[in-house]
């Protein structure tokens, strides 16, 4: 290990674990005790991580209150130290942390609300893509069953036994926190429309369609997953809606079946 790498690891240990000893001799007092200077870095790091979580999880923060959220953020930072210089990635395990966080156990829906918020966060920061509609229109009708429609990078699908979409909507700025629905389940589509993230619940047929497409199924197999009766009822409208919303961003053709 190089001397620089060793120094960096010692500094990281001092920030995360409070182990100042290995780094103290490398810090200049500059008018303040070495421990106080390291502690200032530690507080700044904690504040930055707290603010990154608060930006990604505003509904969770509102549901539990500022003091409770601050405690959660502190514990999360200790158990899941940042592995990237990009703070946008810091909260990627927060939903799993919340699910295991004993003080939040009475809020059964909280981890799934966090999962929905992270999906929104990821969609906002995801790469862009655009469907070549003219190329899609040139696919012969005889081969359309072979299409594999690719979802946009800024699309996420999730489901929950709780009414997480209603909870999220009730806790947007200006709303009073009372959900319009008291029960789930919710099957949720999250996507980005230009610079705005949108969320809506799906019925089972459209959910099966999009989940199949997300798994790489051909259009033929995705329709089969919906069921013939459901496909006849909703397929055309669902595909048109996905196209208009930018949920579909590409396609390829599966190998022809013998």
Co-location of 57 and 172 in the same domain: no
Task: Please state, rounded to an integer, the average pLDDT across all residues of the chain.
Answer: 89
203 assigned to some structural domain? yes
pLDDT band at 187 (very low <50, low <70, confident <90, very high): very high
Query: Residue 220 belongs to a domain with what CATH number?
Result: 3.90.930
pLDDT per residue over 26-68, tens digit each? 676 666 676 677 777 778 888 999 999 999 999 999 999 999 9
pLDDT at position 57 is 98
Q: Which pLDDT band, with edges at 50, 70 and 90, does 258 fall under?
A: very low
Please tell me whether residues 28 and 134 are part of one structural domain: no
Residue 25 lies in a domain: yes
pLDDT tens for 14-24 read: 666 666 666 66
Mark whether 142 and 95 lie in a shared domain: no
Residue 34 is predicted with a pLDDT of 67
Judge whether residue 91 has pLDDT over 70.
yes
CB 187 within 8 A of CB 159: yes
Highest mean pLDDT among 36-40, 108-112, 203-207, 220-224: 108-112
pTM of the model: 0.87
- 158 belongs to a structural domain: yes
pLDDT in the model for residue 104:
97
In this prediction, residue 235 has a pLDDT band, given cuts at 50, 70 and 90, of: confident
Instruction: Name the band, by pLDDT with cuts 50, 70 and 90, for residue 254.
Output: confident
Same domain, 103 and 133: no
Statement: residue 257 has pLDDT above 50: no
**Mean pLDDT computed over 232-251:** 90
**Are 64 and 72 a contacting pair, CB within 8 Å?**
yes
Q: Any bridge partners for residue 74, and if so which? A: none
* Domain annotation covers residue 38: yes
Are residue 132 and residue 258 in the same domain, yes or no? yes
Q: Is residue 42 part of a domain?
A: yes
Q: Quick one: which of 4, 27, 3 has its CA closest to 15?
A: 27
pLDDT in tens, 99-139: 999 999 999 999 999 999 999 999 999 999 999 989 998 99
Residues 199 and 145 in one domain: yes
Question: Could you give the number of structural domains in the chain?
Answer: 2
Same domain, 22 and 71: yes
Mark whether 140 and 236 lie in a shared domain. yes
Counting residues of the chain whose pLDDT is more than 70, the rounded percentage is 88
Both 220 and 250 in one domain: the answer is yes
Assess contact for 113 and 230: CB atoms under 8 A. no
Q: What's the pLDDT score for residue 20?
A: 62
Output phi, psi for 151, to 5 deg: -75, 150
Q: Which tokens go with 51?
A: 């603010």
187 and 77 within one domain: no
Whether 9 maps to a domain, the answer reads yes
Q: How many residues does the chain have?
A: 258
Q: pLDDT category, 80, cuts 50, 70, 90? A: very high
Answer whether residue 8 is part of any domain. Answer: yes
Q: Please provide residue 168's backbone torsions phi and psi, each rounded to the nearest 5 degrees.
A: -60, -45
What is the rounded CA–CA span in Å between residue 79 and residue 97? 9
Q: What is the model's pLDDT at position 246?
A: 93
The residue range of the domain holding 198 is: 128-258
Selected residue with higher pLDDT from 176 and 39 = 176
In a domain, 121, yes or no: no
Q: Based on the domain organization, do 35 and 157 belong to the same domain? A: no
- Beta bridge partner(s), residue 147: 253
The DSSP secondary structure of 16-53, one letter per residue, reads HH---HHHHTTS--TTS-HHHHHHHHHHHHHHHHHHHH
Q: Are residues 100 and 132 in the same domain?
A: no
């Amino acid at each position: 290990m190089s001397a620089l790498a060793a120094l960096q690891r010692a500094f990281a240990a001092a920030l995360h674990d409070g182990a100042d000893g290995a780094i103290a001799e490398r810090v200049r007092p500059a008018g303040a005790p070495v421990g106080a200077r390291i502690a200032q870095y530690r507080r700044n790091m904690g504040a930055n991580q707290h603010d990154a979580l608060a930006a990604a999880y505003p509904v969770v923060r509102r549901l539990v209150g500022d003091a409770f959220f601050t405690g959660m953020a502190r514990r999360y930072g200790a158990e899941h130290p940042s592995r990237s210089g990009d703070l946008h990635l810091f909260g990627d395990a927060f939903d799993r942390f919340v699910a295991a966080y004993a003080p939040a156990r009475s809020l059964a829906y909280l981890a799934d609300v966090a999962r929905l918020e992270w999906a929104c966060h990821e969609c906002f920061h995801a790469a862009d893509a655009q469907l070549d509609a003219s190329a899609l229109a040139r696919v012969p009708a005889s081969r359309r069953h072979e299409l594999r429609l690719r979802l946009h990078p800024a699309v996420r699908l999730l489901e929950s036994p709780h009414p997480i979409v209603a909870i999220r909507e009730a806790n947007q700025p200006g709303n009073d926190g009372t959900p319009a629905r008291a029960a789930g389940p919710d099957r949720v589509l999250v996507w980005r429309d230009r610079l705005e993230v949108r969320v809506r619940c799906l019925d089972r047929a459209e959910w099966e369609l999009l989940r199949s497409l997300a798994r790489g199924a051909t259009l033929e197999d995705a329709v089969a997953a919906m069921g013939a009766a459901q496909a006849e009822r909703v397929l055309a409208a669902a595909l048109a809606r996905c196209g208009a919303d930018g949920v579909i961003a590409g396609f390829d053709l599966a190998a022809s079946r013998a």
